[in-house]
């Protein structure tokens, strides 16, 4: 599977009280749900870029009403980067190992005295791939 390229979020895990657990929901349904704040909804509009050099960049549109000075301050603080005309709000690493695509979840610690492996599989799905709690389709 070739993950390099730009992906959009088509599905996301959300809590379903009827099953007391996470279920996969279409992003359109989440965006139409009044229980989610506009800030939360903006996350589902992010794009995920898998680069050839093993990076995963989560990209968001720069808010239209954001003053240039504020954007410059965010970038100067090192909290965010710019990638073309988007904000990079998160960076992770990916790799292929024995034909399996994995990402570095950043998890640390140990379980029963053994170090936790931070590398999580990115499985293929019928619609694309499953990255963390998101179902992605290629743009």
- CA quadruple 91, 59, 48, 54: dihedral sign: negative
pLDDT in tens, 51-61: 999 999 999 99
How many CA atoms lie within 13 Å of 117's alpha carbon, on the beta-carbon side?
5
Q: What's the rounded Cα separation, in Å, for the pair 99 and 96?
A: 6
Question: Is residue 50 very low, low, confident or very high in pLDDT (cuts 50, 70, 90)?
Answer: very high
pLDDT in tens, 9-22: 999 998 888 999 99
Neighbours of 78 (CB within 10 A): 7
User: pLDDT value at position 119?
Assistant: 96
Q: Is the pLDDT at 4 greater than 90, yes or no?
A: yes
pTM, entire model = 0.88
What six digits make up the tokens of 52?
Answer: 């050839």
Percent of the chain with pLDDT over 70: 100
Q: Where are the domains of the chain?
A: 5-94+124-138
Q: What's the rounded Cα separation, in Å, for the pair 114 and 74?
A: 38
pLDDT in tens, 72-112: 888 899 888 999 989 999 999 999 999 999 999 999 988 88
Q: For residue 24, what is the enclosing H or E element?
A: strand 21-26
User: pLDDT value at position 121?
Assistant: 97
What radius of gyration do the chain's Cα atoms show? 17
User: pLDDT value at position 2?
Assistant: 92
Q: What's the rounded Cα separation, in Å, for the pair 118 and 85?
A: 31
């Amino acid at each position: 599977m070739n993950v390099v390229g730009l992906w959009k979020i088509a599905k996301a895990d959300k809590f379903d009280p009827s099953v007391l657990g996470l279920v996969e929901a279409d992003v359109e349904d989440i965006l139409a749900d009044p229980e989610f704040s506009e800030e939360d909804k903006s996350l589902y509009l992010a794009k995920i870029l898998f680069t050839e050099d093993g990076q995963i960049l989560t990209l968001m549109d720069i808010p239209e009403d954001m003053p240039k000075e504020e954007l410059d301050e965010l970038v100067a603080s090192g909290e965010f980067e710019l990638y073309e005309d988007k904000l990079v709000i998160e960076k992770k690493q990916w790799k292929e190992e024995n034909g399996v695509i994995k990402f570095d979840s950043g998890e640390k610690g140990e379980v029963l005295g053994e170090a936790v492996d931070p590398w999580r599989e990115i499985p293929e799905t019928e619609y694309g791939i499953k990255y963390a709690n998101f179902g992605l389709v290629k743009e």
